[in-house]
Chains A and B, each alone.
Chain A
Amino acid sequence: MNIDSIKNGIVIDHIAAGKGMQLYRLLKLDELDCSVAIIKNVASKKMGRKDIIKVDAAIEVDLDVIGFVDPEATVNVIRDSKLVEKKTIPTPRELVNVIRCKNPRCITSVEPGLNHVFKLTDEKNKVYRCLYCESKPN
């Protein structure tokens, strides 16, 4: 795969440097069969350094996950080597099974079949807390 030019796929650009791997993991891009490139620490005029992810397939990514990890990132949809769409990144109010609660005293640690739900409790500071125990993700 030529990482400079994608024919049909998506480019997640302007990811804060260092967050590319986390995004890769939470978007479950490791489960894809197509080519995926993570480019770390790319020089950027605006940001100093940034990460970029390129996916060589027309997949749907979960924008809520991107909004949780880095709401400043951009998602470009490429079709026939042309930029056809720039997606707006929402600030999700709720994350279901995106991250897991790590509090050992939380009911999610023992109850089978329970969704791991995090709610946006502080919009200004983008704070998410577990629906059950109110811990922050870590």
Chain B
Amino acid sequence: MRNVIDVLDLSVEEIEELIAVADDIMANPTKYQEVCKHKILATLFFEPSTRTRLSFESAMLSLGGEVLGFSEASSSSAAKGESIADTVSVVSGYADIIAMRHPKEGAPLVASAHSCVPIINAGDGGHYHPTQTLTDLLTIRHEIGRFDDLTIGFCGDLKFGRTVHSLIEAMSRYKGIKFVLISPPELKLPSFVKEEFIKNKGIEYVQTSSLEEVMGELDILYMTRVQKERFFNEEDYLRLKDSFVLTEDKMALARADMRVLHPLPRVNEIDTAVDNDPRASYFRQAHYGRYIRMALIMKLLEVSA
């Protein structure tokens, strides 16, 4: 039995396999519409994330399976103080696979120790979010066509941005990668990501707080939200927020084949005027999420078309 807690739980070869299956699902959806018939996915969301939950549920329903679960801690046994160990020991008897979102870092790893069915981490605090990363990888493959020799800019909240951490991890396994880390000093990448996946692997990187300066060298710009509550005071937030907003002016500095990704939801960090730019890939990216999750569920349930 396999779990996916961290994107590195999957080898580079397995990621290629998932991408191939996702591609085939996109090309022949009817072939897959009953492969998970009579299987149940439990979505245990201890904090709300409608988008991620719907993406998982849509994926399972598209495979002919069923879904059950809860969408916030207050409607679950966690509100009564039940431990993760106990919740999962019970629920793993009700489902064939579990997707779990939790505000605390490492919660899905704890769950995996007590579950008799596969656990998928659907986001744990500021730590990891592997299925978003698989979505990002499928997007990069479709929009750019390769994983090697890429200069990838990450912009915004790199400290708490779990999607950033997971994508850096995943991309650190490919050749010719360069990372450009664009954030206010308060929201710099945490040490576990920088040391383990960039410095120790000898990967080239730059840190900057100016998006304009680096725009022209990027193959990919991965945008994230800069949230007000991450700042100690309103002044710092107001002073900094516009530097990390993507506008048409900034897009004019980018290359013609550059792509903009964003895990969504967006607030104001990408000006809506950018949406019509063909380089804006974020809405297409959201659609890829469903197909790669279908491929992952099939892999963990060991079913094929």
Contact = CB atoms under 8 A, between A and B. Distances in A.
Interface of A: 103, 105-114, 121-122, 127, 129-136
A103 B191 CA distance: 14
Contact of A132 (B83, B106, B200): B106
A130 B83 contact: no
B192 A134 contact: yes
A110 B81 CA distance: 10
A22 B76 CA distance: 42
Judged by DSSP, the binding face of A is: loop
A114 B124 CA distance: 17
B195 A105 contact: no
Given A122-B195, A122-B196, A127-B195, A133 B106 contact: yes
A121 B8 CA distance: 15
B157 to A, nearest CB: 14
6 contacts: A103-B105, A105-B103, A105-B125, A111-B84, A122-B195, A132-B105
A105 B109 contact: no
B85 A111 contact: yes
B107 A136 contact: no
Contacts of A108: 106
B104 interface: yes
Nearest to A135: B192
Nearest to A122: B200
For B106, B191, B200, which residue has the most chain A Cβ atoms within 10 angstroms? B106
Interface in B108-140: 109-110, 124-127
Contact of A105 (B84, B104, B196): B104
A63 B83 CA distance: 33
